[in-house]
Structure 1
Amino acid sequence: MEIGIVGLGAMGREIARNLVVAGHSVSAWNRSGGHVDGVRMVETPAQALQADLTLTMLSDDAAIRGVLLDADLLSGARPGLVHVVASTISVAFARELVEHHRKAGIAFVAAPVLGRPDVAAKGELNVLAAGAPAALEKARPALEAIGKRIWDMGEEPPTAYAAKIACNMMITMAIEAMAEAVVLTETNGLARERFFELILGTLFGCRPYQTYSGNIVRNEYPPGFKASLGLKDLRLAREAAAGAARALPMLDAVHGRMRQAVDAGLGDRDWSVMAQVTLAQD
């Protein structure tokens, strides 16, 4: 399959490598250039849309709007193209994209992913896919090359982004829960290591707790998923909540904590650095 990629950030590079390994012919455009073995770099994003399938992995709504929509590139895409947007975008913008793709006469598949760059490198992402059945079937070989499981989120693309935003919201809640639990236990004489051994072996032996408890134990937050991007996703969650006219107090709390971390200059650290803010509170 001929596959174009728009955006070769940390996730996009790993996705591109796995598509090449799977035998696809891959071309890519990236604003800041770059190189991935086996990938043909093109000079414009419009060229990346001249494929059987194009996968967009830009950072947010504004980037996609600036690169693809402002220049009306969808209208010049190859006929029959399936456009897969793997970015985490707002539900409102996803609805707008549905209309843009309808007018351009090309298929739109939502495919935000669960997983960090190290997971992407192994081809073990969880893909939250939504779109018309025929478009999803055409995209399946590419999605199978980058993920260990494709989760069917239905036929409406905005649903997949709502699910992804909700997942990221819950991860930050888990991080904050661990930090607050450490405040209670450590101030009463229990070491973090022993407390996490307890919870990982009993009530909370799941991936977010396993992944981020180690950072909290060491009080080290090396770059992974950036706190600045986590704050963006929590903002998207708050926008979705506002659109539903619902109050979500736990969401407001973790958004506030992540905002504190970013405002403290920690935006490039792993998003679990929000725990450091909680633990440092007087």
Structure 2
Amino acid sequence: MEIGIIGLGAMGREMARNLAAAGHTVIAWNRSGGQVEGVRMVETPVQALQADLAITMLSDDTAIREVLLHPNLLLKARPGLVHVVASTISVGFARALVEIHDAAGVAYVSAPVLGRPDVAAKGELNILAAGAPGALEKAKPALEAIGKRIWDMGDAPPMANAAKIACNMMIAMAIEAMAEAVVLTDTNGVSRERFFELILGTLFGSRPYQSYSGNIVRGAYQPGFKASLGLKDLRFASDAAAQAGRALPMLAAVLGRMTEAVEVGMGDMDWSAMAALTIDPHVHDAAQRRPR
């Protein structure tokens, strides 16, 4: 299958590499250029839309609007194209994309992923996919090449985006839960290593707890998933809750904490860095004093 990739960031590069390694013909466009082994780079994004399948891995709603929608590139896509949007986008924008793709006669699958670049490199992403059954079936060989499991979220693309945003919201809540637990244990002399050995071996052994507890133990927050992107996703969750007419108090709390983390200068650090604001009162005070 010929597959076009639009967006070669940390995730897109690994996805493109795995697709090529699986034997697919892969062409790619990236705003900042670059090269990926086994992938042919093209000069314009519309060229990537001439493949059998196109996968968009741009950073957010705005980037997709700028690259694809404002130039009306979907109207120039190859007939029969299936367009897979693997980016984490807002539910409202996903609904708009349904109408835009219908008007352009392009099949649309939403397939955001769970996993960081190291997971993408191994081809072990969890893919949350939603769209018309025929479009999903056509996309399946490509999705199988980049992920270890495809989770069918339904036949309406925004279903996948709602699920992905909910997942990221819950991870942020887990990070804050661990940070608050450390406040209680640190101040009573329990080492972080000993506490997290208990937690991971009993109540909370899932991957988010395994990954981010290590960052909290070390007090080191090198980028895996940037706090600025985490803030974007929490804002998407807040918008979706508002559209549903519902108040989500835990979401409001972690959104506030992640906002503080970005404002105090942690935007390029891993999003688990927001734990430092809860654990270290000096970091928190500095964030509170920062002009808003």
Please give the range of the TM-score, normalised by the shorter of the 2 chains.
over 0.9
Letter in 2 for 1:75: L
Partner of 1:177: 177
Q: 1:126 & 1:197 partners in 2: Cα distance?
A: 26
Task: Give how far 1:77 is off.
Answer: 0.0
Percent of counterpart pairs with the same letter? 78
1:25-64 equivalent positions in 2, closer than 5 A? 25-64=25-64
SS at match of 1:153: strand
Partner of 2:247: 247
Q: Deviations over 1:59-88 (max 9, x none)?
A: 000000011000000010000000000000
Letter in 2 for 1:57: M
Partner of 1:213: 213
Q: Does 1:267 align with 2:287?
A: no
1:73-92 equivalent positions in 2, closer than 5 A? 73-92=73-92
Q: Deviations over 1:161-215 (max 9, x none)?
A: 0000000000000000000000011101111111101111110111110010000
Task: Give how far 1:280 is off.
Answer: 1.3
Task: Give how far 1:256 is off.
Answer: 0.6
Alpha-carbon RMSD: 0.6
SS at match of 1:51: coil
Letter in 2 for 1:26: V
Q: 1:197 & 1:260 partners in 2: Cα distance?
A: 29
Q: 1:99 & 1:232 partners in 2: Cα distance?
A: 24
Partner of 1:140: 140
1:94-113 equivalent positions in 2, closer than 5 A? 94-113=94-113
Letter in 2 for 1:173: M
Q: Does 1:20 align with 2:20?
A: yes
Give the unaligned 5+ runs of structure 1: none
Partner of 1:70: 70
Q: 2:209 & 2:140 partners in 1: Cα distance?
A: 31
Give the unaligned 5+ runs of structure 2: 283-292
Partner of 2:154: 154
Q: 2:156 & 2:162 partners in 1: Cα distance?
A: 11
Task: Give how far 1:281 is off.
Answer: 2.1
What TM-score, normalized by structure 1, do the two folds share? 0.99
Q: 1:103 & 1:151 partners in 2: Cα distance?
A: 27
Partner of 1:192: 192
What TM-score, normalized by structure 2, do the two folds share? 0.96
Letter in 2 for 1:160: A
Letter in 2 for 1:18: N
SS at match of 1:174: helix
SS at match of 1:228: helix
Partner of 2:168: 168
Q: Does 1:257 align with 2:257?
A: yes
Q: 2:97 & 2:31 partners in 1: Cα distance?
A: 21
Q: 1:136 & 1:205 partners in 2: Cα distance?
A: 32
Q: Deviations over 1:121-153 (max 9, x none)?
A: 000000000000000000000000000000000
Q: 1:202 & 1:51 partners in 2: Cα distance?
A: 48
Partner of 1:121: 121
Q: Does 1:130 align with 2:156?
A: no
Letter in 1 for 2:250: M
Q: 1:191 & 1:122 partners in 2: Cα distance?
A: 33
Letter in 1 for 2:48: A
SS at match of 2:26: strand
Q: 2:44 & 2:276 partners in 1: Cα distance?
A: 42
SS at match of 1:193: helix
Q: 2:118 & 2:93 partners in 1: Cα distance?
A: 28
Task: Give how far 1:277 is off.
Answer: 1.1
SS at match of 1:236: helix
Letter in 1 for 2:175: I
